[in-house]
């Protein structure tokens, strides 16, 4: 049986909430446990109400928890907001000016005072981490070792200070220790703790991406910031552009010259990039864009999550042209999807859009370390060794599969022409009607082969009469909901999409035919449901939708699914 504990550390921005979550996560990881950590924060530097939600288990986790065993309140407001979330037998640790209530449900502890006794009030969050681990029954030596490693670069004095602060909190709460069922001992783990943003950055690097132009926009900034540490170790360049338009144009220019490049943004920035998206399509230049979705329209909710950019990503920019749209559901899946996005964008000379969201980008999850790097990266450029005025190089030759031979400019005698206007096979601007038809059909001719590159959706209990259907980051919540419903003798399956566009209409229609479909999405209009109706002829479906900017939890899906199945 799985041992499972959920904690919430809540307070105001600037009170070190994420630091506490990170310390607890690291101790658990060093003990070989699995974690799922989610940050919830407002779009402000200080103040407001923030929290870290941390789920711990001795088995793999696919989703966050929301029924609290331990609530850590850095201020009294946090207790008032979250006390009803405590499950029976749960305990709240509440920061107080002086020691106060101390029982099995509420433990008041003077974090600041204990930190000052240890040597500096700034270590109050370390005091809180010590108290939590004491309640979990963790040996103090595990936390001490993590703190020594964490602060080693800052010198022995800082490390010693934090160990002392943690001991103050640990000693204050040790008589509240509980038997969680965890085995607490340092062990070598083959698992990794990874966020979606980290995974996207590493996947791009593994695909030999060398240029990362971007303009900061939450939550996509985390993708690029995770590349920056590698700029001194690898031959890569990160460039902060003056805006999103410049960022996408830089990526297109680099790709035209043969350098793998990508940019990352959120919905508002992606809006600005749509003209560049069309340029990449017209010039048939490979392009990878990460769209880390957040709620809109306009500025929307900058630090919240959503899935409302699916149809926009499929149809963005003027006119029609082929593109790939992917939506991975886990950090490891994100890593693999990024590698595929670069490979396929270059192979078919089209844009590839990878849809993340705030929840996936920022959540930190323990996963098995299956990250691999290919020793050789396949590239799709032809040698530029021929071409003259009599027999010019035809950059846009009318190939039967739509993929014309691509050469790098200035690499040989063949002149490589490019223009954002419609053009003839050689690359000259052309307004000829017959040529327009031929070029449009040429680009569309890539689609049959592109469809064959798409991975089918993950099927869980596909013979069940009722199927939960989702895409992207809802994956883990849906999987756990299906498991819980099964435990309650409700046979429900799932269809989970990662590769979204282009879509194999017949294959998808066959999977979904004659089923009660329940779309699980974080948008108001069930965008995947509408897409499936359009492409696969699905005429009826139910919905479980959430568009308040907060992530799904398995409990919510279970509850709503029961109502719909009845």
**CATH number for 132:** 3.40.920.10
In a domain, 408, yes or no: no
Model-level pTM?
0.96
Mean pLDDT (whole number) for 346-375: 96
- Judged against a pLDDT cut of 90, whether residue 8 lies above it is answered with yes
In a domain, 14, yes or no: yes
- Judged against a pLDDT cut of 70, whether residue 2 lies above it is answered with no
Q: What is the pLDDT of residue 185?
A: 87
The percent of residues above 90 in pLDDT, for the chain, comes to 88
Which domain-ending residue is among 333, 368, 403? 368
At which residue do the structure tokens 């001719």 appear? 445
CB atoms within 10 A of CB 141: 11
- Tell me the Ramachandran region of residue 89: left when phi exceeds 0, alpha when psi lies from -120 to 50, beta otherwise: left
H or E segment at 368? strand 364-368
Q: Are residues 209 and 318 in the same domain?
A: yes
- Residue 442's pLDDT band, with cuts at 50, 70 and 90, is very high
The number of domains in the chain is 3
**Domain range for 54:** 4-176
Q: Are residues 135 and 243 in the same domain?
A: no
In a domain, 488, yes or no: yes
At which residue do the structure tokens 């083959």 appear? 190
pLDDT digit string, tens, across residues 318-345: 999 999 999 999 999 999 999 999 999 9
The percent of residues above 70 in pLDDT, for the chain, comes to 99
Q: In this structure, what DSSP letter does residue 387 have?
A: -
Which domain-ending residue is among 337, 368, 399? 368
Cα separation of 69 and 89, whole Å? 7
Mean pLDDT (whole number) for 188-216: 96
pLDDT digit string, tens, across residues 45-60: 777 899 999 999 999 9
Q: Are residues 172 and 118 in the same domain?
A: yes
At which residue do the structure tokens 């009722």 appear? 466
CB atoms within 10 A of CB 262: 34
Q: Are residues 249 and 341 in the same domain?
A: yes
- Residue 188's pLDDT band, with cuts at 50, 70 and 90, is confident
Cα separation of 96 and 78, whole Å? 12
CATH code of the domain containing 203: 3.40.50.970
Q: Are residues 204 and 316 in the same domain?
A: yes
Q: Are residues 480 and 529 in the same domain?
A: yes
DSSP reduced 3-state for 537: coil
Q: Are residues 124 and 21 in the same domain?
A: yes
Which domain-ending residue is among 176, 211, 228? 176
Q: Are residues 137 and 238 in the same domain?
A: no
CB atoms within 10 A of CB 267: 24
**Tokens linked to 286:** 């490979």
In a domain, 405, yes or no: no
Q: Are residues 170 and 205 in the same domain?
A: no
Q: Are residues 207 and 325 in the same domain?
A: yes
- Judged against a pLDDT cut of 60, whether residue 1 lies above it is answered with no
Q: How far is CA 1 from CA 57, 58, 177, 182, 190, in A?
A: 11, 9, 21, 12, 22
Cα separation of 70 and 268, whole Å? 37
- Residue 384's pLDDT band, with cuts at 50, 70 and 90, is confident
DSSP reduced 3-state for 239: strand
Q: Are residues 266 and 295 in the same domain?
A: yes
In a domain, 185, yes or no: no
In a domain, 437, yes or no: no
Q: Are residues 256 and 313 in the same domain?
A: yes
In a domain, 184, yes or no: no
Q: What is the pLDDT of residue 47?
A: 76
In a domain, 219, yes or no: yes
């Amino acid at each position: 049986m799985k041992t499972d504990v959920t904690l919430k550390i809540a307070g105001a921005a600037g009170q070190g909430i994420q630091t506490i979550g990170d310390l607890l996560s690291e101790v658990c990881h060093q003990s070989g446990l699995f974690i799922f950590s989610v940050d919830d924060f407002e779009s402000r530097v200080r103040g407001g109400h923030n929290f870290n939600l941390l789920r711990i288990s001795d088995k793999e986790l696919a989703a966050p928890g929301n029924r609290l065993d331990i609530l850590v309140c850095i201020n009294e407001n946090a207790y008032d907001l979250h006390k009803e979330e405590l499950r029976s037998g749960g305990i709240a640790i509440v920061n107080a000016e002086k020691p106060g209530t101390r029982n099995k449900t509420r433990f008041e502890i003077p974090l600041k005072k204990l930190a000052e006794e240890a040597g500096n009030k700034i270590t109050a969050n370390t005091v809180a981490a010590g108290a939590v681990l004491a309640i979990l029954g963790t040996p103090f030596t595990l936390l001490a070792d993590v703190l020594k490693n964490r602060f080693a670069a800052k010198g022995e004095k800082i490390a010693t200070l934090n160990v002392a602060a943690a001991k103050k909190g640990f000693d204050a709460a040790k008589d509240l220790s509980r038997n969680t069922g965890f085995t607490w001992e340092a062990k070598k783990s083959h698992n990794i703790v990874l966020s979606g943003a980290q995974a996207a950055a590493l996947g791009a690097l593994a695909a030999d991406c060398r240029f990362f132009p971007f303009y900061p926009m939450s939550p996509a900034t985390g993708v690029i910031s995770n590349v920056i540490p590698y700029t001194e170790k690898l031959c890569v360049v990160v460039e902060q552009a003056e805006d999103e338009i410049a960022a996408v144009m830089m990526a297109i220019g680099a790709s035209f010259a043969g350098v793998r490049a990508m940019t990352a943004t959120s919905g508002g920035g992606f809006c600005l990039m749509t003209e560049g998206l069309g340029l990449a399509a017209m010039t048939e230049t490979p392009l990878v864009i990460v769209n880390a979705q957040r709620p809109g329209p306009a500025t929307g909710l900058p630090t919240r999550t959503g899935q409302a950019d699916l149809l926009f990503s499929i149809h963005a920019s003027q006119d029609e042209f082929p593109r790939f749209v992917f939506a991975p559901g886990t950090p490891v899946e994100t890593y693999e999807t990024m590698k595929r996005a670069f490979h396929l964008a270059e192979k078919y000379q089209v844009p590839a859009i990878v849809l993340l969201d705030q929840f996936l980008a920022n959540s930190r999850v323990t996963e098995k370390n299956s990250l691999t790097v290919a020793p050789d990266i396949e590239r799709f450029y032809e040698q530029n060794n021929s071409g003259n005025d009599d027999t010019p190089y035809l950059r846009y030759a009318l190939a039967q599969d739509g993929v014309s031979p691509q050469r790098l400019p200035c690499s040989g005698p063949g002149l490589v022409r490019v223009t954002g206007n419609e053009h003839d096979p050689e690359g000259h601007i052309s307004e000829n009607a017959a040529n327009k038809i031929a070029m449009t059909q040429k680009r569309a001719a890539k689609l049959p082969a592109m469809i064959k590159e798409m991975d089918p959706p993950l099927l869980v209990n596909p013979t069940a009469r009722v199927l939960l259907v989702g895409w992207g980051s809802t994956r883990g919540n849906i999987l756990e909901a299906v498991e819980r419903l099964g435990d309650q003798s409700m046979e429900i399956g799932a269809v989970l999409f990662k590769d979204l566009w282009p879509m194999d209409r017949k294959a998808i229609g066959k999977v979904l035919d004659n089923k009660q479909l329940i779309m699980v999405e974080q948008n108001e209009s069930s965008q995947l449901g509408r897409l499936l109706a359009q492409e696969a002829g699905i005429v009826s479906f139910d919905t479980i939708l959430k568009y308040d900017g907060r992530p799904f939890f398995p409990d919510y899906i279970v509850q709503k699914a029961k109502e719909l199945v009845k």
